[in-house]
Amino acid sequence: HRLQEMTFRLGFDLLLRSELGHHQYCPIPSLKKSQLAEGFLAFCYWAAAQKGIALPEVDWPAYERKGEQRFWQMERIGLVQQAFRRMIELWLVLDKALYLQEQGYEVQIEQFCARKVTPRNILVH
């Protein structure tokens, strides 16, 4: 369901940007997963009704395809972020510790459990 829902949401966003000149993402409320079975066109009309937007007639399958392409692009970006997640977290912890030291605090950093338990396993005290 995630692929389909994200494809629909992203396709709807692209439609709003291209056809109606929207410049920001338009958040759409949660929907029943069963609504996804009604298809992209029904989703777009439902989402537009939720936001009080009138939709023009467009090439619906094209926007659905573009939504799926955008989904896979986001997935690839997410994979790159995964590779740097721990390094960024460590950098933020060290930055916070340095700030506290500069403010006159004595600071210790330690790992309080295995990363398998939780990736947020660093304690600054």
pLDDT tens, position by position, 58-112 = 999 999 999 999 999 999 999 988 889 889 999 999 999 999 999 999 999 999 9
User: Assign residue 39 a region: left if phi > 0, alpha if psi is -120 to 50, beta otherwise?
Assistant: left
**What residues does each domain of the chain span?**
2-80, 84-124
Q: Model pTM?
A: 0.70
pLDDT tens, position by position, 72-83 = 999 999 998 888
d(CA 25, CA 32): 21
